[in-house]
Amino acid sequence: MKRPAFWLLLLTLASPSWGVTLWGVDINGIELQTSYLSILNVVQDSAPDPLVNAIGASIPFRFSGSWTFRPEAQLFFLGYTFQGGRAVPQSSEWDNVTILSLMINPTLGYEIPFSPTLSWSNEVGLGFLARFPVLFNGATAIDMALPVTGWLLAGRLLYPNLGTGVTWQFSPLFAVTLRAQAFYPVFNLWEGLPWYDEFTYGLGLGIWFTF
């Protein structure tokens, strides 16, 4: 009965320098996060700017001292309808196709320590957004699934982004992160749509488990 308590105490007091080092790159753990993202919508007579709750995970790498590489994945759901030859966000009050959105986003950042437990970082990334239909809400939803999905996947995948955040290492094994991110739909440059259509920004809270 004493052995589990011993290992729990050992992990709690473990050195924060524990981690995995591979070819000079420190792999410091895994971060789980939840975010609220606002997506700008320029189409009239449709849903107001959607606010979605995303869940995600990332694996932070550190190299050359303060540089970081943090590949992340975020997952959220949003209802769409097909209107005026394009997919348009739609509320649950009307027929819509629920789209599963998966953002794969490798980021490169630079970390500035304020104290042994508090640091600030800035990041730049290139997000890849894959979207697939998962639910059909209403009598006409099934007929909209193919055109909605086709429009979303027709080259509308890349989202360059910027981020900033703070990390508080409140214990040797755990840290809290607060991040702000902004994703630009670069495809608007050649689609002829307003530059801010589908511009996405948000704030996320995460917990970082150190190896």
pLDDT tens digits, one per residue of 142-186? 999 999 999 999 989 999 999 999 999 999 899 999 999 999 999
12-47 tens-digit pLDDT: 333 333 345 544 567 778 999 999 999 999 988 788
The single residue listed with the structure tokens 């107001």 is 48
Report the C-alpha gap between 210 and 1 in whole angstroms. Answer: 26
At the topology level, CATH places domain 18-210 in Porin (2.40.160)
Per-residue pLDDT band for 107 (boundaries 50, 70, 90) equals very high
Say what the alpha-carbon torsion angle 97, 103, 104, 105 is, to the nearest 10 degrees: 160
Domain ranges across the chain? 18-210
Report the C-alpha gap between 49 and 89 in whole angstroms. Answer: 8
Residues 149 and 133 sit within 8 Å (Cβ to Cβ): yes
